[in-house]
Amino acid sequence: MSAKEQVDYKILHHEALSENVFMLRVYAPEVCRFRRPGQFVLVSVDNDYGERIPLTIADADEKEGSITLIFQRVGLTTTLLSELAVGDSLASVLGPLGQPTKIEKLGKVVCVGGGIGVAPMRPIAKAFKEAGNEVICILGARNRDLIILEDKIRSFADQVIICTDDGSAGRKALVTEPLKELCEAEDKPNLVVAIGPTIMMKFCSEAVRPTGVPIIVSLNTIMVDGTGMCGGCRVNVGGQTKFVCVDGPEFDGLQVDWDGMMSRMKAYSGQERKMLENHQCNLEKAAAELEARK
Amino acid sequence: MQLGEGGCRAGSAKITMEHDDTSKERLDSLARAKWAELGGSAEGLKPAERLRIPSQPMPSQPADVRCKNMSEVALGYTETMARLEAARCLQCPAQPCVSGCPVELPIRDFVKAIAQGDFGGAIGLIKEKSLLPSVCGRVCPQEVQCQSQCTVGKALKDVGKAVAIGRLERFVADLERSSGKVEVPAVAASTGKRVAIVGSGPASLTCASDVRRAGHDVTVFEAFHKFGGVMVYGIPEFRLPKAIVESEVDTLRRMGVKFRSNMLIGRSYTVHSLLETEGYSAVFLGTGAGLPHFMGIEGENLVGVFSANEYLTRASLMRAYERGRAATLIAEARRVAVLGGGNVAMDAARTALRLGAEEVYLVYRRTEAEMPARREEVEHAREEGVQFHLLRNAKRVLGNERGQVIGLECLKYELGEPDASGRRSPVPIQGSEYVLDVDAVIVAIGNGSNPLLQQTTPGLEFNKRGNIIADERGATSIPGVFAGGDIVLGAATVILAMGQGRRAAAAINEYLGNCEC
Ligand SMILES: Cc1cc2nc3c(=O)[nH]c(=O)nc-3n(C[C@H](O)[C@H](O)[C@H](O)COP(=O)(O)OP(=O)(O)OC[C@H]3O[C@@H](n4cnc5c(N)ncnc54)[C@H](O)[C@@H]3O)c2cc1C
Ligand SMILES: Cc1cc2nc3c(=O)[nH]c(=O)nc-3n(C[C@H](O)[C@H](O)[C@H](O)COP(=O)(O)OP(=O)(O)OC[C@H]3O[C@@H](n4cnc5c(N)ncnc54)[C@H](O)[C@@H]3O)c2cc1C
Ligand code: SF4
Ligand code: FES
């Protein structure tokens, strides 16, 4: 394909934030220009055999025409992405996709980010802050090394609460604990935004349900086209089938059929593991070959 | 390429005979013998003699072989077969076939050229009216269009024996492409006016070609990373090789049409911003019917239930059939139920077989006569071992505790009393439920239109079904914005989409000629 037909999605920066979390800045001027908080892109590393995976636009730099993606290495495509370097290019970046977050001045907004979910949560939290809200951020991770973007969040949030499973940083608690306290307090928040592992979003929703505080979650279903054409991303929300890529990714957490969603996300897990193992196997073979040639 | 051990059932004695029947070598030698008998020319044959020439079957891969590979099923005529088939044409003065063609190809005349061996002349005639003959020759429902009107078919009381117009069209188009001498249409001097085309399906490609020919600067914006619309993401390789679509797109590139992939109009540029801030004087919307309908039955969100769009996109566009190589995965289903009776359902069922399913059931509410699929596809599906459950409908999908499909409950139907129009519609038989033991269900009951443009284009009028309202020339409620193809017609056909793209292009060229833009 000629260079003119698609942007050369060059990687301008590539960094490991923790053992399995990576940040990359990629040249994508039109995505950068049109993106709004809450939106995502579909990226691919190979236009013939690659898969297209959704990643949230974590930040953007208009001068450079780039967007920032922060991702966790969980399977084949995220592994391939983690192996790229500055100067390499992505095969495709489609976006921005999804409905942007509805940013309004509400009063007090609590933003919960679990693990890698802190990355997509940050632009939303920041936008709420810029709209004049008091913003409290709860960051959760298994341990202290897995907390990402803490400084960046502290730079704008009114209050930051850190929770780790092992107590190595902040409170030894699940994010649902401080969330519950905040929502049960006298001056409850006007809105909760929770982004992270599905199970975390489910329990955050259950935690706020009795308090009457509205909660928005950002769903991360499996996607293929991201344009509403395939229905692979569908979930049941309030008894209706919704397509996460066009109707979402944000939904009312109290209405989502979490169990249905979780089973759909496991649809390919056996095959995915095989693909990753193959890739690792090939890498080892390639390394051995190089070694032998020397 | 060879796929894994499939469970296709083809390979019975009947099929083995058919194997002998359909090899290109054998069919060609039969044709040569007949051609020699005619003295190597069809000039001056009497109508009765023409009617006696046997209709030429399509050489094809034997069913037991093809259902294990993704390569094209139909192999195409040889020169002799094409000339012999063309010699069957009676050159009717009234040309009923032409009126059966949505774009009025000069059928009689190109068939005559083929009979005379003037293949270059034939393709020239076709190209005056059609941009995508290699595609249309393969996928048009000829039996309800040109061939349904053909005098030969009528005389022999069998549409299946009409002059094989589609196969002839395909033959000359393929010959031209394989000769490497595809002519790039001439482009008029630049007008400096810019036109944006949204989507890259047949409507868009045709519109792009005609607008570019008039000298305008044309850019095609496509959401996917490949161009061609349903021709690349839906219709499988075994029916329409992707290389054909690519070569058509290449011809447009050589004409100077610009292509932009990964551009979803509505989320980045909008129709209004293209016109108001991006410097385009007109926009054509050919975004297709890309919203899969589901049945709305219990269990439809279980793991293992797919829309045909998802299944076919994974298989075709993302090449999931190349297991181990493609990163995109596809269900490893052993027993598959496909719901529907159109081309999409046939494609999904036949793809499932090729991916190794042992049993593939096609569940359709009416009888075979009502199936909207092309006849040839229905026959091919049957030959390959797809099992038809007719007058049946899905009632609910059954799942296990892990949310995976384990069965499909169906209800039997029977044909009711004829209604006012004489049509007997199916009525459910109470208490006739039965369960198909399957681990995947593919829903192919039709497509609606994607709501994105509707949500992001204020002032653009849509009908209740979500289709853009456009006049017969494609003009919409917004000046300078034109539309055509499935987004206007609802899920239709390649040829109708092409026809609409062409009419809209004429309207755009006229609009640009008159406007101050
Ligand atoms: C709108 C949206 C935004 C997202 N934003 C981000 C982001 O900013 N950063 C980020 O790291 N991830 C994000 N994700 C999740 C990301 O898309 C998946 O992690 C990715 O598709 C995994 O691809 P893979 O090939 O590496 O793994 P695979 O081999 O496909 O899967 C490996 C493992 O990950 C699980 N998995 C597969 N798909 C998903 C998924 N969509 N979500 C979660 N787990 C999955 C599988 O069940 C399996 O266990 C987002 C998802 C969506 C839908
Ligand atoms: C599986 C299958 C089998 C079929 N078999 C046959 C057959 O045998 N014979 C036949 O005649 N017809 C067949 N059809 C129908 C035929 O393919 C369609 O009628 C035809 O392709 C419609 O053409 P179109 O130009 O309107 O749009 P499409 O081919 O649908 O293309 C639309 C394109 O627009 C893109 N797009 C959508 N929205 C946007 C946006 N906002 N911005 C940018 N791009 C966008 C889409 O990604 C897509 O590529 C079949 C359809 C399917 C799904
Ligand atoms: S109707 Fe049939 S026989 Fe008559 S001109 Fe057309 S193709 Fe030939
Ligand atoms: S990803 Fe295909 S419809 Fe959402």
Mean pLDDT score, B76-86: 97
Cα(A53) to centroid(ligand 1), Å: 7
pLDDT of residue B40: 87
Both tokens assigned to B367: 């009888």
B432 Cβ contact list (under 8 Å, min separation 6): B411, B412
From residue B142, give the alpha-carbon distance in Å to each of A121, B89, B96: 54, 16, 13
Distance from CA of A205 to the nearest CA of B (A): 21
**Searching chain B, which residue's CA lies closest to the CA of residue A237?**
B301
Question: Do strands A21-27 and A66-72 pair parallel, antiparallel, or not at all (unpaired)?
Answer: antiparallel
Q: Which H helix or E strand runs over B85?
A: helix B79-86
CA neighbor of B250 nearest in space, from B205, B281, B193, B198: B205
Contact between A250 and A216 (Cβ < 8 Å): yes
Q: List the domain boundaries for chain B.
A: 35-56+70-179, 194-290+449-514, 294-445
B391 three-state secondary structure: coil
Q: Which residue's C-alpha comes closest to atom 1 of ligand 3?
A: B150
Q: Which of B:400-439 have CB within 8 Å of A?
A: 402-404
Within 13 Å of residue B222, how many CA atoms lie on the same side as its CB? 25
Both tokens assigned to B207: 């519109």
Least distant ligand from the CA of B140: 2
CA dihedral over A97, A99, A102, A108, signed as positive or negative: negative
CA B479 distance to own-chain centroid: 31
State yes or no: ipTM above 0.90: no
Verify whether the Cβ–Cβ distance A225 to B223 is below 8 Å: yes
Q: Which of B:297-336 have CB within 8 Å of A?
A: 300-304, 306-307, 309-310, 313-314, 318-319, 322, 324-329, 331-332
pLDDT of residue B509: 97
Q: ω before B62 within 30° of 0 (cis)?
A: no
CA dihedral over A102, A107, A112, A113, signed as positive or negative: positive
Q: Which of A50, A229, A263 sits opposite B303 (nearest CB)?
A: A263
Distance from CA of A185 to the nearest CA of B (A): 38
Distance from CA of A176 to the nearest CA of B (A): 26
Mean pLDDT score, B239-261: 94
Cα(B485) to centroid(ligand 2), Å: 8
Verify whether the Cβ–Cβ distance A228 to B302 is below 8 Å: no
Region of poorest pLDDT, from A11-15, A154-158, A215-219, B178-182? B178-182
Q: Which residue's C-alpha comes closest to atom 2 of ligand 4?
A: A230
pLDDT of residue A1: 38
From residue B410, give the alpha-carbon distance in Å to each of B16, B369, B432: 33, 21, 8
B284 three-state secondary structure: strand
CA dihedral B466, B472, B477, B479 (to 10 degrees): 140
Cα(B199) to centroid(ligand 2), Å: 9
Q: How confident is residue A237, by pLDDT bands cut at 50, 70 and 90?
A: very high
pLDDT of residue B2: 46
Of B423 and A82, the structure prediction assigns the larger pLDDT to: A82
Q: How confident is residue B350, by pLDDT bands cut at 50, 70 and 90?
A: very high
Contact between A106 and A40 (Cβ < 8 Å): no
CA angle B198, B201, B205 (to 5 degrees): 75
- Is A2 a residue whose pLDDT tops 50? no
Mean pLDDT score, B66-90: 94
Verify whether the Cβ–Cβ distance A49 to B325 is below 8 Å: yes
CA dihedral B22, B25, B30, B31 (to 10 degrees): 100
Cα(B498) to centroid(ligand 2), Å: 11
Q: Which of A:97-136 have CB within 8 Å of B?
A: 97
pLDDT in tens, B82-116: 999 999 999 999 999 999 998 899 999 999 999 99
CA neighbor of B334 nearest in space, from B398, B405, B434: B405
Cα(B230) to centroid(ligand 2), Å: 4
pLDDT of residue A263: 82
CA neighbor of B425 nearest in space, from B435, B417, B433: B417
Cα–Cα distance for residue pair A7/B288, rounded to 1 Å: 25
CATH number for the domain running over B35-56+70-179: 1.10.1060.10
**Which residue in B311, B328, B487 has the most chain A C-beta atoms within 10 A of its own C-beta, making it the best mutation to test that interface?**
B328
A53 Cβ contact list (under 8 Å, min separation 6): A42, A43, A44, A77, A78, A223
pLDDT in tens, A262-291: 888 777 666 766 766 777 777 677 666 667
pLDDT of residue B10: 56
pLDDT of residue A290: 63
- Is A121 a residue whose pLDDT tops 90? yes
Cα–Cα distance for residue pair B91/B380, rounded to 1 Å: 31
Cα–Cα distance for residue pair A160/A171, rounded to 1 Å: 11
Cα–Cα distance for residue pair B477/B109, rounded to 1 Å: 39
CA neighbor of A42 nearest in space, from A91, A85, A3: A91
Pocket test for ligand 3, best of B101, B108, B142 (most atoms within 8 A of CB): B108
- Is B6 a residue whose pLDDT tops 60? no
Maximal C-alpha separation, chain B: 73
Q: How confident is residue B160, by pLDDT bands cut at 50, 70 and 90?
A: very high
CA neighbor of B82 nearest in space, from B60, B100, B51, B57: B57
pLDDT of residue B11: 45
Length of chain B: 517
Least distant ligand from the CA of B47: 3
CATH C-level class of B294-445: alpha beta
Q: Which residue's C-alpha comes closest to atom 6 of ligand 3?
A: B97
Least distant ligand from the CA of B86: 3
Contact between A78 and A52 (Cβ < 8 Å): no
Q: How confident is residue B8, by pLDDT bands cut at 50, 70 and 90?
A: low
Verify whether the Cβ–Cβ distance B258 to A4 is below 8 Å: yes
User: What is the percentage of chain A residues whose pLDDT exceeds 90?
Assistant: 75
Question: Do strands B305-307 and B440-443 pair parallel, antiparallel, or not at all (unpaired)?
Answer: parallel
Q: Which H helix or E strand runs over B47?
A: helix B47-52
pLDDT in tens, B306-339: 999 999 998 887 776 776 776 667 777 899 999 9
Indicate whether residue A241 lines ligand 4 (CB < 6 A).
no
- Is B19 a residue whose pLDDT tops 50? no
From residue A272, give the alpha-carbon distance in Å to each of A269, B23, B227: 5, 40, 28
Indicate whether residue A265 lines ligand 1 (CB < 6 A).
yes
Using an 8 Å CB-CB cutoff, list chain B residues near A4.
Answer: 258
Phi/psi at B192 (5° precision): 80, 0
Phi/psi at B226 (5° precision): -130, 155
Cα–Cα distance for residue pair B328/B133, rounded to 1 Å: 31
Mean pLDDT score, B162-173: 97
Q: Which of A5, A96, A275 sits opposite B259 (nearest CB)?
A: A5
- Is B45 a residue whose pLDDT tops 80? yes
CA neighbor of A228 nearest in space, from B43, B128, B292, B3: B292
| B194-290+449-514 and B294-445 share one fold | yes
Distance from CA of B376 to the nearest CA of A (A): 26
Cα(A224) to centroid(ligand 1), Å: 12
b/e for A213-227, b at 16 or more Cβ within 10 A?
Answer: bebbbbbbbbbbbbb
pLDDT of residue B16: 45
Using an 8 Å CB-CB cutoff, list chain B residues near A226.
Answer: 264
Q: Which of A:144-203 have CB within 8 Å of B?
A: none
Cα–Cα distance for residue pair B75/B60, rounded to 1 Å: 5
Residue B291 touches partner A, C-beta closer than 8 Å:
yes
CA neighbor of B364 nearest in space, from B385, B338, B344, B325: B338
Using an 8 Å CB-CB cutoff, list chain A residues near B451.
Answer: 228, 246
Amino acid letter, residue A70:
I
Cα–Cα distance for residue pair B468/B331, rounded to 1 Å: 35
Structure-token match 């190109």, residue found:
B110
B382 Cβ contact list (under 8 Å, min separation 6): B388
Region of poorest pLDDT, from A5-9, A231-235, B137-141, B151-155? A5-9
Mean pLDDT score, A165-188: 92
Question: Do strands B217-221 and B424-428 pair parallel, antiparallel, or not at all (unpaired)?
Answer: unpaired
**Searching chain A, which residue's CA lies closest to the CA of residue B330?**
A268
Residue A26 touches partner B, C-beta closer than 8 Å:
no
Verify whether the Cβ–Cβ distance A7 to B268 is below 8 Å: no
Distance from CA of A168 to the nearest CA of B (A): 35
Residue B264 touches partner A, C-beta closer than 8 Å:
yes
From residue A76, give the alpha-carbon distance in Å to each of A16, A91, B125, B390: 17, 15, 50, 42
Structure-token match 């509505």, residue found:
B266
DSSP B367: -
Verify whether the Cβ–Cβ distance A227 to B291 is below 8 Å: no
Domains and CATH numbers, chain A: 9-97 (2.40.30.10), 108-218 (3.40.50.80)
pLDDT of residue B42: 86
- Is B417 a residue whose pLDDT tops 80? yes
Q: How confident is residue B420, by pLDDT bands cut at 50, 70 and 90?
A: confident
pLDDT in tens, B290-310: 899 999 999 999 999 999 999
* A and B: number of Cβ contacts within 8 A: 136
> In sequence order, which ranges of chain A are alpha helices (DSSP H)?
29-34, 76-82, 118-130, 150-154, 176-184, 198-208, 244-247, 258-265, 269-293
Q: Tell me how crowded residue B416 is: count the other CB atoms within 10 A of its CB.
A: 12
CA neighbor of B343 nearest in space, from B460, B155, B510, B494: B494
pTM equals 0.91
pLDDT of residue A287: 66
A276 three-state secondary structure: helix
Q: How confident is residue A293, by pLDDT bands cut at 50, 70 and 90?
A: low
- Is B3 a residue whose pLDDT tops 80? no
Verify whether the Cβ–Cβ distance B327 to A46 is below 8 Å: yes
Of A115 and B325, the structure prediction assigns the larger pLDDT to: A115
Burial class (CB in 10 A: 0-12, 13-18, 19+), A274: middle
Cα(B93) to centroid(ligand 3), Å: 9
Cα(B91) to centroid(ligand 3), Å: 6
- Is B15 a residue whose pLDDT tops 60? no
Both tokens assigned to A231: 């229905």
pLDDT in tens, B437-449: 999 999 999 888 8
Verify whether the Cβ–Cβ distance A230 to B264 is below 8 Å: no
CATH T-level assignment (fold) for domain B194-290+449-514: FAD/NAD(P)-binding domain (3.50.50)
Verify whether the Cβ–Cβ distance B307 to A231 is below 8 Å: yes
**Which residue in A221, A229, A282 has the most chain B C-beta atoms within 10 A of its own C-beta, making it the best mutation to test that interface?**
A229
Using an 8 Å CB-CB cutoff, list chain A residues near B219.
Answer: none
SS3 for A13-66, per residue? EEEEEECCEEEEEEECHHHHHHCCCCCEEEEECCCCCCCCEEEECCEEECCCCE
Q: Which of B:368-407 have CB within 8 Å of A?
A: 402-404
